[in-house]
Amino acid sequence: MNLIHYSIIALITSASIVSCSKDRTTKNNDGQLTDMSVEFDNIVGGQNLFLDAVSYTNAAGEQFTVSRLQYFISNIKLRKTDGTEFAVNPDSSYFLIKENDPATRFARFKAPAGDYNQLSFVIGVDSLRNTMDISKRTGVLDPSAGMEDGMYWGWNSGYIFFKMEGTSPAAPVDPTGQRKFRFHIGGFGGYSAPTLNNVKTVTIDLSASGNALARSGRNSNIHLMVDILKALNGSNNISIAANPSVMFGEASVTVANNYVNMFYHDHTEN
């Protein structure tokens, strides 16, 4: 049964490759979907982000370096200029962007060819996926990573959406003798009892800096800048001295309300 099924798909696929394109490397499996990506280019204000090496200053006047930065992007949606919307298949729409792993700076997916003028996504992992059976938690959602680079809270079941760690002279000395700050932001609203919800959706207009023109056989890349200084600076500035460790608590709401504004569209590579 399966063999027959796959053979038919293979036949159709090879037929469409022959008829539609001479490029045999094309990944269009039904002649309609094309490759697209969103690039997350992490910066700090007007500077590039360099882990550990460079010291930056927040609005509270505190100097800091960043040793770890990683966050989940999920539920990518695009809107065409004609107003129709496309949502990336939920089972392939979870991306963990890690500054220390350049391969992760692109969220790659497939979308129908067309002209897109709006992008939206979730920072973090939606509540539904947070409560799904463990068999649905594969790839970046596999809760098997360690405490250091893992993005999952075991003790209070749920994903960490955003993790930024570093050192600052403003931070108090911790038990290990370092002046570290740690922001681990999560909270999907609770399952057995309601609690804080830091699931944030970002919507970005692309028309000013270049619509995404998705075409068969090409990869349209929407290049975003991610200014992590905005996680600290916003309507409520975060002081590292006052909040060296922001995890599951009220301060996380402030950080999440700040970081929802850290993304802006720089350009699109069509």
CB of 145 to another protein, least distance (A): 6
Contact 76, 55 (CB under 8 A): no
Residue 256, H or E segment: helix 250-259
CB of 254 to another protein, least distance (A): 14
Query: Which residue, 46 or 146, is less far from another protein as judged by CB?
Result: 146
CB of 232 to another protein, least distance (A): 22
- As beta bridge partners, residue 42 has 226
What lies within 8 Å, CB to CB, of 140 at 6+ separation is 72, 94, 95, 96, 151
3-state secondary structure 23-73: CCCCCCCCCCEEEEEEEEEEEECCEECCCCCCCEECCCCCEEEEEEEEEEE
Query: Which residue, 25 or 144, is less far from another protein as judged by CB?
Result: 144
Query: Which residue, 191 or 264, is less far from another protein as judged by CB?
Result: 191
Query: Which residue, 8 or 128, is less far from another protein as judged by CB?
Result: 128
Rounded distance, CA 199 to CA 14, Å?
A: 42
Contact 223, 269 (CB under 8 A): yes
- As beta bridge partners, residue 167 has 65, 180
Query: Which residue, 85 or 142, is less far from another protein as judged by CB?
Result: 142
CB of 192 to another protein, least distance (A): 5
CB of 128 to another protein, least distance (A): 14
Query: Which residue, 45 or 139, is less far from another protein as judged by CB?
Result: 139
CB-based burial of residue 197 (10 Å sphere; 0-12 exposed, 13-18 middle, 19+ buried)?
A: middle
With tokens 């009892």, the residue in question is 193
Residue 77, H or E segment: strand 63-80
Query: Which residue, 77 or 163, is less far from another protein as judged by CB?
Result: 163
DSSP secondary structure letters along 120-166? EEEES--HHHHTS-GGG--GGG-TTS-TTT--EETTTTEEEEEEEEE
CB of 142 to another protein, least distance (A): 5
Query: Which residue, 46 or 154, is less far from another protein as judged by CB?
Result: 154
CB of 154 to another protein, least distance (A): 4
Residues lying near another protein in the complex (CB under 8 A) are found at 131, 133-135, 137-138, 142-147, 150, 152, 154-157, 190-196, 248-250
CB of 146 to another protein, least distance (A): 4
